[in-house]
Amino acid sequence: MKVLLFGAGGLLGSSLYRELSEKGFSILAPTRKNVDLNDHVHLEDYLRNLNFDLLVNAAACSKTDYCEDHRDECFRVNWLAPLIMHRIARNKGALFVHFSTDYVFDGTKKEYFEEDATSPISVYGFSKAYAEKSIIGQGGDYYIIRTSLLYKENGNNFLSLIPEKILDGEEILCTDNIKSAPTYVPYLAQATLKLIELNLPFGIYHISGGYPMTACEFIGIYERIIGKKAKLRKVREEEMNRRAKRPKMSFLNNFKFVSLSGFIPEHPEVYMRRVYERISGKKD
């Protein structure tokens, strides 16, 4: 099977690349230098001239605050580029796999299921919700995977960097009044492959870590694992003065995916222990 993977240099894309390679897929992974997703004429041209059976889009303008001030780029990369990818994939009879976010919801419910109406409150959330609607509207063979708060061993993002910050005694600013389910990237990458291999019905799937918590609670688990107190400064989301609004409670319920696939995420503590052991050199 020939796979075209966008965003292979990103947090999720690099794990997907690894999983797909281990399964022996033949992968073409264009970088931004090869295809800039802002340039839709080039994107169309590029896609039309390629043969592939599976197109996986892990590329995104993923910084929520950045999107507030760069609406045009955000909508071009997060909405219009996936729309073009999906249309061309569908015309070639290829499967399209796209990633979305808990930020398509406003966070006023206790938990969210696949069929809940989207209600974004940020530019990023709108761009991702528009992509979902457009892909659904175009039909064909697709999976839209909504996920939340990614972390992994070598990720350069807030959750991934916490163990090092605790070890270094660095002050960590964390919000204690918004919750979502942190998702371990290798689990998400493996779950994505399961979805494809099991040939589950096309549509939207929630694949998240399964346990909603605040950033402060997440750090609390690391404190137990590491056996060291973090230098925490707990704040409310409103005090962060961030450009984009975040949903208060955006737990993506995994029931549909887990019940159809049987692939259950471990408790975050298991993954976090793995992250800590790897970065502290206790394991390869």
Ligand X SMILES: NC(=O)c1ccc[n+]([C@@H]2O[C@H](COP(=O)([O-])OP(=O)(O)OC[C@H]3O[C@@H](n4cnc5c(N)ncnc54)[C@H](OP(=O)(O)O)[C@@H]3O)[C@@H](O)[C@H]2O)c1
* 174 near ligand X, judged by CB under 6 A: no
* 149 near ligand X, judged by CB under 6 A: yes
CA distance readout (Å), 4 to 47, 59, 64, 271: 9, 12, 26, 29
- Beta-carbon count within 10 A of 198 CB: 12
* 207 near ligand X, judged by CB under 6 A: no
CA–CA distance, 103 with 84 (Å, rounded to integer): 22
Position among 3, 4, 13, 245 found at the interface with ligand X (CB under 6 A): 13
Count residues contacting ligand X (CB under 6 A)?
22
Q: Which CB atom, from 23 or from 32, has the smaller least distance to ligand X?
A: 32
Position among 80, 83, 101, 174 found at the interface with ligand X (CB under 6 A): 101
Position among 19, 36, 53, 68 found at the interface with ligand X (CB under 6 A): 36
Q: At closest approach, how far in Å is the CB of 130 from ligand X?
A: 13
Does residue 208 contact residue 102 with C-beta atoms inside 8 Å?
yes
Stretch that binds ligand X, among 7-15, 211-219, 257-265, 268-276 (CB under 6 A): 7-15
CA–CA distance, 169 with 188 (Å, rounded to integer): 30
- Sign of the CA dihedral with 35 first, then 39, 45, and 51 last: positive
Q: Of 151, 140, 22, 2, whose CA–CA distance to 82 is shortest?
A: 140
Q: How many residues does the chain have?
A: 284
* 83 near ligand X, judged by CB under 6 A: no
- Beta-carbon count within 10 A of 226 CB: 17
Q: At closest approach, how far in Å is the CB of 19 from ligand X?
A: 14
Position among 18, 32, 233, 236 found at the interface with ligand X (CB under 6 A): 32
Residues that bind ligand X (CB under 6 A): 7, 9-13, 32, 36-38, 58-62, 77, 99, 101, 147-150
